[in-house]
Structure 1
Amino acid sequence: MRVLITGGAGFIGSHLADAYIERGDEVYIIDDLSTGSIENIKHLKAHPRFHYTIDSVHNAPIVAELVDQCDVVFHLAAAVGVRLIVESPVRTIETNVHGTEVVLAQANKKKKKVLIASTSEVYGLSADVPFREDGCLVLGATTKGRWSYACSKAIDEFLALAYWREKRLPTIIVRLFNTVGPRQTGQYGMVIPTFVKQALAGRPITVYGDGRQSRCFCHVSDVVGALMRLMEHPQAVGEVFNIGSNEEVTILELAERVRKLTGSPSEIVFVPYDEAYEQGFEDMPRRVPDISKINALVGFRPTKSLDEILQTVIDFYAGRTTAHGD
């Protein structure tokens, strides 16, 4: 199979590329390296079945050419991370909405199957936990910048489903819940790499708010397996799926686990949201997926516990520190 991955030099995209190359498929990626990194794919660059294009998904002629060469498309290119969303709202909205418009329009010309990566953020302030795919989305006020990301990804979902209903372009939507693992950067506010790097360096581990907000973390290898299985299942078309773990942990507990697993002397300090992001920042108190739908269709179940996930990230960053001598 020939696979196109937009955002293929990103954290999830590069692991997905690895999995398809390993399986014997041909992989094409496009990435503008705004949040992805050439470091993530350098081990693939010399591979005869791996092809990369450094460009934006906004470049319709380039996207059209790549779509023509491939059988299926994974659209992972997006503005990611709360910090980026708060600091660059225009870029967030334009990247997410216009990029998806271009990919869907080009894929539609040849009716190539597209999987769109959405986010658990779309559930917004909903208190109906665990979140089900058919549940209501409850977004905050438009004056709160952080909801622009959730709204832009919800528009992506509406657009992808409209292409399926109106134009019969086969589309699949996945809502990812805190995917983590090696290669993930803490640069844009991702909590686990941030905590791990702070702990390994003996710096204070910074917990935003009171630390009672809870999340569920899923290893990238489990997520990649789910994406591949959904892409191949005919009944996934036109549907929305949560992908994540349902092992819930508070952020304060997470900080304590990281400190323990690294044997770090770091103290845990609390940082108010207003200081971390922006005045009046709103966070989701709990973010837990109902994964019964994807489990019923493709048998998805997370295989790695939270401690195992944390250990993979600790090993990755400890190894990098040793390699770089810092």
Structure 2
Amino acid sequence: MRVLITGGAGFIGSHLADAYLDRGDEVFILDDLSTGSIDNIRHLRARPKFHYVIESVHHASTVAELVDQCDVVFHLAAAVGVKLIVESPVRTIETNVHGAEVVLAAANKKKKKVLLASTSEVYGLSEDVPFREDGNLVLGATSKGRWSYACSKAIDEFLALAYWRERKLPTVLVRLFNTVGPRQTGQYGMVVPTFVKQALTGRPITIYGDGAQSRCFTDVSDVIAALVGLMDHPGAVGEVYNIGSTEEVTIRQLAERVRTLTDSTSEIVHIPYEQAYGDGFEDMPRRVPDLSKIHALIGYQPRKSLDQILGGVIDFFRDAPTAPTRPEPIAG
């Protein structure tokens, strides 16, 4: 199979490329390196079935050419990360919405199957936990820039599903919940690598808010297995699936576990949201997925515990002190 991955030089995209190349498939990557890094795919460039193009997903002719060469498309390219979302809302909205438009239009011409990566952010302020794919999305006010990312990804979902229903383009939607692993960096707000780097260097571990907000972290290897499984399964077309873990932890507990696992003496400090992101910032108090739908289809269940996930990230930064410092395009 010939596989196209937009945003393929990012954290998740590069691991997905690894998986398909190891399976014997041919992989094409499109990335403008605005948030990805060439370091993430440097180890792949000598492999004969690996190809990459440094260009924006907004470049319609390039996207069309690559789509024509491939059998399936993973659209992972997106603006992501709380810091980027708050500081650059125009870039966030335009990158996410227009990028999806270009990819879906190109894929539709030849009816190439597309898996589009969305995010748990679309559930917004919903209190109906655990989040089900058919649950209501509760976004905050448009005056709160925090929600521009969630809204833009929800539009991507609506568009992809419309292409399936109206034009029979086979599309699959996934909502990623806090994917973590080697090659992820802390720039633009990714919490686990940020905490790990702070702990390893003895700097204060900085928590935004009171630390009572909870998340469920998923190892990138589990996410990749789910993505490949959904792309291979014909029953996934036209559907939305959560991908994540149900092992819930507060951010305060996460900081304490990172400090323990790294044998660090770092102080844990709290920074008000207003100081980090400006006045009026809103956050999701809990983010827990219901995984029954994806489990029923492909038998998915996460294999790695939080301590195993943290151990992998700690080892990565200990072994690679010059690891890439640029952010990644998907972190749900």
Question: What is residue 220 of structure 1 aligned with on the other side?
Answer: 220
Q: Distance in 1 between matches of 2:323 and 2:275?
A: 34
Write the deviation string for residues 196-228 of structure 1: whole angstroms up to 9, x where unpaired.
000000000001100000000000000000000
Say whether the 8 Å CA contact 2:144–2:280 is kept in structure 1.
yes
SS in 1 for 2:222: helix
1:116 and 2:109 correspond? no
Q: Distance in 2 between matches of 1:54 and 1:215?
A: 34
In the TM superposition, residue 280 of structure 1 has moved relative to its aligned partner by: 1.0
1:208 and 2:213 correspond? no
Runs of at least 4 residues of structure 1 off by over 4 A? none
Q: Distance in 1 between matches of 2:218 and 2:137?
A: 22
Write the deviation string for residues 103-138 of structure 1: whole angstroms up to 9, x where unpaired.
000000000000000000000000000000000000
Change over 3 Å in CA distance of 1:119–1:323 after alignment to 2: closer
In the TM superposition, residue 321 of structure 1 has moved relative to its aligned partner by: 2.2
Matched AA of 2:69? Q
Question: What is residue 73 of structure 1 aligned with on the other side?
Answer: 73
Mark the runs of 5 or more structure 1 residues left unpaired by the alignment: none
Question: What is residue 64 of structure 1 aligned with on the other side?
Answer: 64
Q: Distance in 1 between matches of 2:247 and 2:323?
A: 33
Mark the runs of 5 or more structure 2 residues left unpaired by the alignment: 325-332
SS in 2 for 1:130: coil
Write the deviation string for residues 76-99 of structure 1: whole angstroms up to 9, x where unpaired.
000010000001100000000000
SS in 2 for 1:321: coil
Question: What is residue 297 of structure 2 aligned with on the other side?
Answer: 297
Matched AA of 1:216? C
User: Normalized against structure 1, the TM-score is what?
Assistant: 0.99
In the TM superposition, residue 42 of structure 1 has moved relative to its aligned partner by: 0.1
SS in 1 for 2:44: coil
1:11 and 2:11 correspond? yes
Matched AA of 2:215? R
Question: What is residue 143 of structure 1 aligned with on the other side?
Answer: 143
SS in 2 for 1:256: helix
User: Normalized against structure 2, the TM-score is what?
Assistant: 0.97
SS in 1 for 2:137: coil
Question: What is residue 98 of structure 1 aligned with on the other side?
Answer: 98
Identity %: 80
1:176 and 2:215 correspond? no
Q: Distance in 1 between matches of 2:178 and 2:156?
A: 19
Write the deviation string for residues 32-88 of structure 1: whole angstroms up to 9, x where unpaired.
001100000000011100000000010000000000000000000000100000011
Q: Distance in 2 between matches of 1:131 and 1:145?
A: 23
Question: What is residue 254 of structure 2 aligned with on the other side?
Answer: 254
Question: What is residue 267 of structure 1 aligned with on the other side?
Answer: 267
SS in 2 for 1:118: strand
In the TM superposition, residue 323 of structure 1 has moved relative to its aligned partner by: 8.6
In the TM superposition, residue 172 of structure 1 has moved relative to its aligned partner by: 0.2
Q: Distance in 1 between matches of 2:31 and 2:321?
A: 26
Q: Distance in 2 between matches of 1:84 and 1:322?
A: 23
Say whether the 8 Å CA contact 2:64–2:106 is kept in structure 1.
yes
Report how many aligned residue pairs link the two structures.
324
Write the deviation string for residues 3-39 of structure 1: whole angstroms up to 9, x where unpaired.
0000000000000000000000000000000110000
Change over 3 Å in CA distance of 1:130–1:49 after alignment to 2: same
Write the deviation string for residues 271-319 of structure 1: whole angstroms up to 9, x where unpaired.
0000111211000000000000000000000000000000000000011
Question: What is residue 107 of structure 2 aligned with on the other side?
Answer: 107
Once the two structures are superposed, the pairs formed by residues 6-45 of structure 1 within 5 Å of their partners are 6-45=6-45
